[in-house]
Amino acid sequence: MLFERTRGTTQAAVKDTKVVRGYPLVGGLVDVFRDGPGFMMRVAQDHPGEVVGVRLGPTTVYLVTYPEHVQQVVLDWRTFGKGGGMFKATRPLLGHGLLTSDGDFWLHQRRMMQPLFQPANLAALTNLMVEVIEREVALLLTRGSAIIDMEVEMNVMSQRVILETMLGRGIERSETDRLNDELQSALEGLNRRMFLSFLPERFPLPGERRYRTAIAAIDDAMLRLVQDRRASGATREDLLSLLLRARDEDTGEGMDDRQVRDELVSIFVAGQDATAKAMTWLWYVLDQKSRGRGALARGGG
């Protein structure tokens, strides 16, 4: 996990941390773009148990790898806020959704949305999830015995499950396909923008035009879906209907269209990748176990 120093991050929180300086001027940026996960893994392995600063151009981000440290950063949200440049760079895509909002606004949204994720509400979504999974598995089976890249398939599966659980049965597959493509393009652009957040927003980065058109297409599609659902007054068993029903406990007010759009995109981004990664590792573990069983059966120990 990475964090940046924001106004709430006291000097004490990052005091004595070693800083990986990388190349002159650019710091670790070359390594981040060449192989981000590999680079972060090497930094973590070189500094076991430590919080390490990594220079990225003129900014420093802090890499936290130990579970207790990660827990502290996640729970102490007043000290480790989300106000830095990296989070600012997420605004065009993620707006002020739960994942990237901060402080009292985050707390307010969090209190309003937490009840939506009660087991009873989630249970009501499982039929839809199972339907999507069965359909995707049937499609996989039609490919016969070709080798299947589980990382690719788990991404596709989790993208479909989340989009259809959010937006329900009323949306055409061609529309979810299009939305998914735009979301993937926007995420690629977002990654670049986050690590180059010290550059002015209008700085022309490669792929910038595609990034902007993807965000415009997402805004268009999501806002239309929100407005149509609100206007129809229909209550469906999906996340969109749950978000439209969410109310502030004190004022009784709900979210405006833009906030619902921000939460939908944030849930997609937060939920899709994490779930796909967890499921991919699950296949890896199952594979290791079955090999182990095979070796045991052959008496190989």
Binding site for ligand HEM (CB under 6 A): 74, 98-99, 110, 162, 266-267, 270-271, 274-275, 278
Pairwise CA distance, residues 213 & 219, whole Å: 10
Question: DSSP letter string over 16-85?
Answer: T-EEE--BTTTBTHHHHHHHHHHHHHHHHHHSTT--EEEEETTEEEEE--SHHHHHHHHH-TTTS-S-SH
For the CB of residue 146, give the shortest distance to ligand HEM in the complex, in Å.
27
Using Cβ positions, the residue closest to ligand HEM within the complex turns out to be 271
Rounded distance between C-alpha atoms, residue 182 and residue 185, angstroms? 5
Sequence-separated (6 or more) residues with CB below 8 Å from residue 103: 77, 78, 81, 83
Question: What CA–CA distance (Å, rounded) separates 97 from 15?
Answer: 31
Quick check: 51 and 18 in contact, CB under 8 A? no
Cβ(272)–Cβ(279) below 8 Å: no
Beta carbon nearer to ligand HEM, 13 or 270:
270
Which CB atom, from 29 or from 99, has the smaller least distance to ligand HEM?
Answer: 99
C-beta closer to ligand HEM: residue 31 or 162: 162
In the complex with ligand HEM, the residue whose CB is nearer, 208 or 273, is 273
In the complex, minimum distance from the CB of residue 144 to ligand HEM, in angstroms, rounded to a whole number? 30
Spell out where the chain has E strands: 2-4, 18-20, 52-56, 59-63
The residue among 89, 37, 82 whose CA lies nearest residue 74 is 82
Cβ-based nearer residue to ligand HEM, 36 or 58? 36
Measured from the CB atom, the residue of 26 and 133 that comes closer to ligand HEM is 133
Between 21 and 111, whose beta carbon lies closer to ligand HEM?
Answer: 111
Rounded to a whole number of angstroms, the minimum distance from the CB of residue 217 to ligand HEM is 22
State in angstroms the smallest separation of the CB of 270 from ligand HEM.
Answer: 3
**Closest distance of CB 274 from ligand HEM, Å:** 3
| Least distance in angstroms from the C-beta of 9 to ligand HEM | 14
| Residue 94 near residue 264 (C-beta atoms within 8 A) | no
Least gap, CB of 74 to ligand HEM (angstroms): 4
